[in-house]
Amino acid sequence: EDQVTQSPEALRLQEGESSSLNCSYTVSGLRGLFWYRQDPGKGPEFLFTLYSAGEEKEKERLKATLTKKESFLHITAPKPEDSATYLCAVINQAGTALIFGKGTTLSVSS
């Protein structure tokens, strides 16, 4: 069964304190791995798509990387406005729909 596991569940950082969020997956033929940001009461906001091991993508303070078993979302020098829940999701070879992890809730304090 396809599965996505995110850790930690919650992460508290001081402003400027860099860290990483983990997404490990088991999927029958990975077609794509997606990172989303979700603010309370809002829909998920697309951040990145990664397709193959070794791929990296960056956007402002965020950098996503992918291996054959997991993905990392690195946050460099975070700011309070980076506080949100970060969701990881995959699509398998059948390509039907996103399979989400439970998310990591990030809190950044100034």
Which one among 49, 70, 76, 79 touches another protein, defined by CB under 8 A?
A: 49
Q: Does 44 bind another protein (CB under 8 A)?
A: yes
Stretch near another protein under the rule CB under 8 A, chosen from 18-26, 36-44, 59-67, 71-79: 36-44
Peptide bond preceding 8: is omega within 30 degrees of 0, i.e. cis?
Answer: yes
Residues 52 and 10: their CA atoms lie apart, in Å, by 27
Shortest distance, position 70 Cβ to another protein, whole Å: 17
The CA distances from residue 67 to 5, 6, 56, 90, in Å, are 14, 15, 10, 13
Token pair of 71 as six digits: 């993905």
Please report, as ranges, the residues that interact with another protein according to CB under 8 A.
Answer: 31-32, 34, 36, 41-46, 49, 51, 87, 91, 95-98, 100-103
